[in-house]
Amino acid sequence: MATDAARLPGGIDSRRLIGRARRVDLAFAGAGLLVMVVAMAMLMALVLDLLVDGLPRLSWDFFTNFPSRRPGRAGILSAWVGTTLVMIVTAALAVPLGVAAGVYLEEYAAKNWITDVIEINVTNLAGVPSIIYGLLALGLFVYGFGLGETILVAGMVLALLTLPVVIVATREAIRSIPQEVREAAFALGADQWQTVRIYILPAATPGILTGAIIGLARAIGETAPVITIGALTFIAFLPPAPIQPEFPFLSFEWLNSPFTVMPIQMFNWISRPQPEFHVNAAAAGLVLLAMTLLMNGLAIYIRYRIRKGMR
């Protein structure tokens, strides 16, 4: 009986068919696991490679020394100070602009062709290679506006690059807020801006924060657009301090200062032939990697907390 039931019309043995399908299924599960393990192994190899090459070089001096022609005495002081200052400019420009644009598209925009153009444009900007932004900054900011190769220009170009990330994150965070919140606010007599300011923005803040941090973490590692604007790589001085001992105490001179940033310093050391400089590059890479991984980790943690809170 059993053998009869296993035979399908046309004399196909259904048990063999099922057995084969099951084997293919398991083989694919194996392939999926394999790809996952290989990808994770690559991440491990990358981190281990940097650790083995660069960790012995990491010392207090490495953080407090300027770059030098002698690899043993070179450090990343001007690079990490430059990165910090550039990131302040980037965050100050990209976050308010991106949040404002995201709020407009989600809460205010009418469904018409202007909105369509803006939406397609934001999606498209997110896909433009970063080096193209560098060319824009070179042609427009450096030569067009005559701003030169300064911290301000680097902050501006990285802000343009981060803008789509912040816009998309803001929109997603706002979209996840239930419609009832808006209706309740309107029912209490709030107008649109009051609703956005008092209810929508606070509720969307964790999501916006996640997006902003991911965007800035990407901007920290961006090298190409900063090279394109012609940033110098050998900077053995610091920009003027933002806080001055005399009135008016705050100074924005640093915005117009030449600079270098972490990824450029690392690229500079990689492209030298001497292996001693490669050790410096690995150490700088470790610091850079730690910065981006910490920021990404923070973003992932905040998102995890949001999801837990929603359940």
Partner 1 sequence: MATASEATGALGAVPRASMQPSGPFLRRRRLVGRLVRLVLFAAASFSVFVTVGIVYILISESLVFFGHVPIVDFLTDTQWTPLFANPRYGILPLLSGTLVVAGIALLVAIPAGTTLAIYLSEYAPVAMRETIKPLLELLAGVPTVVYGYFALLFVTPLLRTFIPGLPGFNMLAPGLVMGIMILPYVTSISEDAMRAVPRDLREGAFALGFTRFQTATGVVVPAAFSGITAAYILGMSRAVGETMVVAIAAGQMPNLTLDPTEQAATITAYIVQVSLGDLPHDSIGYQTIFAAGLTLFVITLAFNMIGFYLRRRFREVY
Q: Which two tokens stand for residue 191?
A: 């107008």
In whole angstroms, the minimum distance from the beta carbon of 170 to partner 1 comes to 11
Please identify, using beta-carbon distances, which residue of 240 and 305 lies nearer to partner 1: 305
User: Does 82 help bind partner 1 (rule: CB under 8 A)?
Assistant: no
In whole angstroms, the minimum distance from the beta carbon of 248 to partner 1 comes to 28
Residue from 72, 139, 145, 251 in contact with partner 1 (CB under 8 A)? 139
Please identify, using beta-carbon distances, which residue of 242 and 270 lies nearer to partner 1: 270
Evaluated on CA atoms 44, 46, 47, 48, the torsion sign reads positive
User: Does 84 help bind partner 1 (rule: CB under 8 A)?
Assistant: no
Please identify, using beta-carbon distances, which residue of 83 and 257 lies nearer to partner 1: 83
User: Does 130 help bind partner 1 (rule: CB under 8 A)?
Assistant: yes
Burial class (CB in 10 A: 0-12, 13-18, 19+), 178: exposed
For 286, list phi and psi in degrees, rounded to 5: -60, -45
Listed residue (35, 191, 160) closest to 93, CA to CA: 160
Q: For 75-113, b where at least 16 C-beta lie within 10 A, e where not — what string?
A: bbbbbbbbbebbbebbbebbbebbbebbbbbbbeeeeee
Q: Which two tokens stand for residue 212?
A: 């902003």
User: Does 122 help bind partner 1 (rule: CB under 8 A)?
Assistant: yes
Please identify, using beta-carbon distances, which residue of 67 and 285 lies nearer to partner 1: 285
Task: Enumerate residues 48-67 that contact partner 1 by CB under 8 A.
Answer: 49-50, 53
In whole angstroms, the minimum distance from the beta carbon of 208 to partner 1 comes to 14
Residue from 92, 117, 184, 241 in contact with partner 1 (CB under 8 A)? 117
Cis peptide before 248 (omega within 30 of 0): yes
Please identify, using beta-carbon distances, which residue of 254 and 260 lies nearer to partner 1: 260
Of 33-41, 64-72, 79-87, 173-181, which segment contacts partner 1 by CB under 8 A? 33-41
CA distance 59 to 167: 39
| 50 residue type, one letter | L
Task: Enumerate residues 178-237 that contact partner 1 by CB under 8 A.
Answer: 189, 191-194, 214, 217-218, 220-224, 227-230
Of 67-75, 77-85, 117-125, 234-242, which segment contacts partner 1 by CB under 8 A? 117-125
Pure H helices in the chain = 2-6, 14-54, 60-64, 77-103, 113-127, 130-136, 151-175, 179-187, 192-195, 201-221, 224-228, 262-270, 275-310
Of 2-10, 69-77, 173-181, 284-292, which segment contacts partner 1 by CB under 8 A? 284-292
CA distance 78 to 262: 9
Residue from 147, 270, 298, 306 in contact with partner 1 (CB under 8 A)? 270
Residue from 74, 87, 103, 174 in contact with partner 1 (CB under 8 A)? 103
